[in-house]
């Protein structure tokens, strides 16, 4: 896609927009690939994404506040890490959700400085999928098949300031307070309100609650 929509944005973030995302249909079947900017600009294109939620041994959830340099949803609070598997063989693999798990591991390192050894693929639990659409602005939109992953690990985040303004561990009560006072990414609000309470209530039983289904959340209003 033409560079015009990006010419006012941070150069590092613009470079990421050239990455090739995985296009899918509403059954999560791969239909092709397109650049990240093509997936998110204008009306956007449905593509595969992931959201990972990392809980520590005290049962707290690691959140991030997106950097003001981000092109879509700058400054909002979100789950530990959310991004996209790339259209490449390792991240296309569907067996045991290895593709999205590899993407999550890659981005935990790039965004939060968490080494792969502290976020092993075998410890990640693929919980479910969520189909949603949310417009960030007149110019940018999210239309994603979001694969949601949970991980229990006592990680030590070292945020990349170009990606993350702040990282914070929170309890359930602290998360509710944050929702009342701060801007929240629409995908994370959906997860937190419709899926997370049951998971957080039984972190030892995450694998038993995994369903791998597709939850159609529809069009989500955000402001």
Distance spanning both ends of the chain, measured CA to CA: 26
Number of alpha carbons in the 13 Å side-chain half-sphere of residue 216: 6
DSSP structure string for 6-35: GTTS-HHHHHHTTSEEEEE-TT--EEEEEE
- The residues that bridge with 47 in the sheet, in sequence order, are 23, 144
Catalytic, out of 21, 81, 82, 150: 82
Give catalytic status of residue 163 as yes or no: no
β-sheet bridge partners, residue 66: 164
Q: Are 52 and 151 in contact (CB under 8 A)?
A: yes
**Among residues 39, 144, 150, 163, which one is catalytic?**
144
C-alpha–C-alpha distance, residues 7 and 14, integer Å = 8
Task: For the chain, count helices (H), then strands (E).
Answer: 8, 10
Catalytic residue flag (residue 26): no
Q: How far apart are CA 207 and CA 205, in angstroms?
A: 6
Burial class (CB in 10 A: 0-12, 13-18, 19+), 168: middle
Using CA atoms, how far apart are residues 9 and 18, in angstroms rounded to an integer? 13
Q: Apex CA 220: angle with CA 111 and CA 206, to 5°?
A: 55
Catalytic (active-site) positions: 82, 144
């Amino acid at each position: 896609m033409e560079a015009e929509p990006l010419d006012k944005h941070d150069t590092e973030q613009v470079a990421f927009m050239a990455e090739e995302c995985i296009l899918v249909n509403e059954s999560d079947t791969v239909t092709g690939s397109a650049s990240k900017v093509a997936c998110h600009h204008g009306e956007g294109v449905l593509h595969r994404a992931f959201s990972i939620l990392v809980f520590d041994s005290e049962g707290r959830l690691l959140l991030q506040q997106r950097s003001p340099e981000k092109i879509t949803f700058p400054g909002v609070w979100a789950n530990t890490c959310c991004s996209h598997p790339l259209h490449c063989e390792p991240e296309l693999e569907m067996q045991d959700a290895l593709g999205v798990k590899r993407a999550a591991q890659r981005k935990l390192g790039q965004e939060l400085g968490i080494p792969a050894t502290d976020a092993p693929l075998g410890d990640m639990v693929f919980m479910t999928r969520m189909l949603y659409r949310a417009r960030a602005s007149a110019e940018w939109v999210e239309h994603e098949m979001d694969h949601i992953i949970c991980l229990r690990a006592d990680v030590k985040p070292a945020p990349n300031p170009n990606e993350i303004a702040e990282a914070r561990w929170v309890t359930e009560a602290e998360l509710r307070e944050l929702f009342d006072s701060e801007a929240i990414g629409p995908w994370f609000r959906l997860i937190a309100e419709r899926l997370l309470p049951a998971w957080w209530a039984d972190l030892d039983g995450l694998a038993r609650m995994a369903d791998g289904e597709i939850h159609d959340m529809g069009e989500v209003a955000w402001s």
